[in-house]
Structure 1
Amino acid sequence: EGLGRPFRGIHVTALGAGPAHALYFACYEQLKRQLSEVLQQGGNSHLANGIAGSVATLLHDAVMNPAEVVKQRLQMFNSPHRSVLSCVRSILRSEGVAAFYRSYSTQLALNVPFHAVHFVTYELLQEHLNPRREYQPRAHITAGAVAGAVAAAATTPLDVCKTLLNTQESSALSSLRLGGHLSGMANAVGSVYRLGGLPAFFRGVQARVIYQMPSTAIAWSVYEFFKYVLSKGSVERRTSL
């Protein structure tokens, strides 16, 4: 299918990303405020930030996981599916609803720690770079980039294990005399350690950090911009009344 293959399913990701990120940030803001009231009488609680980020990730991935499954089925070589609807119907008919969430727990094992560290780091940096919590694009971009880098570096071991589970890399597994299918995070951790010891858990950490930094910087700057615009509009409407 030539150059079109890399872009097959991109609209599925776009459709899923909208509601997923809306739930993600809405849940985070609401839960952060409520938990901060309980834990620190309205102040900025890093524990509240971490918990709110983790719960927000549960909702985000619950929406994105089915979209990712459909996207991957559409992108397979010689995929029998020609549209999103035909793919969804085929999966439901042959595998049931559970097929859309087969990798959900594995995804959460990586994403929950990542976003917990991510949100705590972002809020901590905002305390120092933007203590008055005003709209400051430079502060949001900087804090977002650094938060993404820290979270990416801290969760690289989990990403390495997930990659081995997803790829089932035959030469690596055969070198350990492992036959069949590698399953479970515990087995992946043991296999990675046997392949290269502790340094193996941080292979690719530079590439992962470089990938995440612009992504999280853009996400936070866009989010903070719309938050500022919407809150400003709300204040102006109340003032006019």
Structure 2
Amino acid sequence: MLAGAVAGIMEHCLMFPVDCVKTRMQSLQPEPAARYRNVMDALRRIIATEGVWRPMRGLNATAIGAGPAHALYFASYEKLKRTLSDVIHPGANSHLANGAAGCVATLLHDAIMNPAEVVKQRMQMYNSPYRGVLDCVGAVWQKEGAAAFYRSYTTQLTMNVPFQAFHFMTYEYLQELLNPHRQYNPSSHMLSGALAGAIAAAVTTPLDVCKTLLNTQESLALSSVSPGQGQGAHRQISGLAHAFRTVYRLGGLKGFFKGVQARVIYQMPSTAISWSVYEFFKYGLTKHQHNKRKTQAIWMHRI
């Protein structure tokens, strides 16, 4: 859990500016997202027009959520992977067990991380009206209720369950090829994590676009839901099917792949950092525990 918490916080903090760009590029608003040519161009424009610290808005919300979310994520994955492997394929690695363990780990991770994602993405949007994390939490709670923090939860799971199942199976498969003895090997952990994350990210981009829309409730999308209603009307985009229809109506098939470049560029180093940091701390902690037990055994033998 400690190794997972450190890995999650480092992963999200180091890659946060790219995550901000991904959110902006997935926006359905025609301006300024339409002017972004690529990830670096978007990052330059955000810094030039909104300030050097603008890409970091919402980082504290993400860091608060990432610690406990990734602690449960990795701990439950490790435990379930071993338990299910012993049942399905005793004494050997089971890809089915890896995928199933990844699915359960995702349920726990997203239950904690989803509210943080809502706050983070609302603060990342262009012309975000919120002064800070607490202001955003208070405004969302007051105007939309507690359910707003979990409006995209089913979409998040619909995206993340196949994403993480494929991600874990790919990572474990690549580890079998690159690191068959399962020793601590930083290069194999980074390469396996990067490739697994990139492939899974590209495949699930349409669902990520819908999740962003559900989290941010963009004004352009809201005005298209029921045009002609007054300003006081309660218009909300709710549910995956509703989000899919809205994205298609406003952006066509291309709309589902908004920000795919940024998503892949974000996920490759993100998963590489996550796995390498996690494996490093797991190696250090387990080695320390092993040495401690070994020392205790030597002293007991002498006594």
**TM class by shorter-chain length?**
0.7 to 0.9
Q: CA deviation at 1:160?
A: 3.9
Tell me the residue number matched to 2:116.
67
- 1:179-224 Cα offsets, whole Å, 9 max, x none, are 5765432344456667655x76555544432221111111111111
Counterparts of 1:193 and 1:6, CA distance in 2: 28
Verify: 1:32 aligned to 2:32, yes or no.
no
Counterparts of 1:96 and 1:152, CA distance in 2: 31
What is the 5 A alignment of 1:91-110?
Answer: 96-110=145-159
Structure 2 residue corresponding to 1:240, chosen from 274, 280, 295: 295
Q: CA deviation at 1:124?
A: 0.6
Structure 2 residue corresponding to 1:228, chosen from 260, 279, 283: 283
What is the 5 A alignment of 1:53-64?
Answer: 53-64=102-113
Counterparts of 2:279 and 2:123, CA distance in 1: 34
- 1:40-60 Cα offsets, whole Å, 9 max, x none, are 114211111111111111111
What is the 5 A alignment of 1:1-241?
Answer: 5-72=54-121, 77-79=128-130, 84=134, 88=137, 96-163=145-212, 165=214, 170=220, 179=227, 183-189=238-244, 196=252, 201-202=256-257, 204-241=259-296
| Gap change, CA 1:64 and 1:188, over 3 Å in 2 | closer
Q: Does the Cα contact within 8 Å between 2:152 and 2:211 map onto a contact in 1? A: no
| Gap change, CA 1:148 and 1:169, over 3 Å in 2 | farther
Show structure 1 runs of 4+ deviating over 6 A: none
Q: Does the Cα contact within 8 Å between 1:168 and 1:181 map onto a contact in 2? A: no
Structure 1, unaligned runs of 5 or more: none
The 10-residue stretch of structure 1 (140-149 or 150-159) with the greater mean CA deviation from structure 2: 150-159
TM-score under structure 1 normalisation? 0.81
Aligned-residue sequence identity (percent) comes to 63
Tell me the residue number matched to 2:23.
none
> What number of residue pairs does the alignment pair up?
236
| Gap change, CA 1:163 and 1:62, over 3 Å in 2 | closer
Counterparts of 2:255 and 2:143, CA distance in 1: 38
Structure 2, unaligned runs of 5 or more: 1-49, 228-234, 297-303
Q: Does the Cα contact within 8 Å between 1:17 and 1:64 map onto a contact in 2? A: yes
- 1:157-188 Cα offsets, whole Å, 9 max, x none, are 323444455565849x97xx985765432344
| Gap change, CA 1:65 and 1:196, over 3 Å in 2 | closer
Q: CA deviation at 1:227?
A: 0.9
| Gap change, CA 1:158 and 1:71, over 3 Å in 2 | closer
Q: Which has the higher contact order (CA 8 A, sep 6+)?
A: 2
The 10-residue stretch of structure 1 (124-133 or 98-107) with the greater mean CA deviation from structure 2: 98-107
AA matched with 2:156: Q
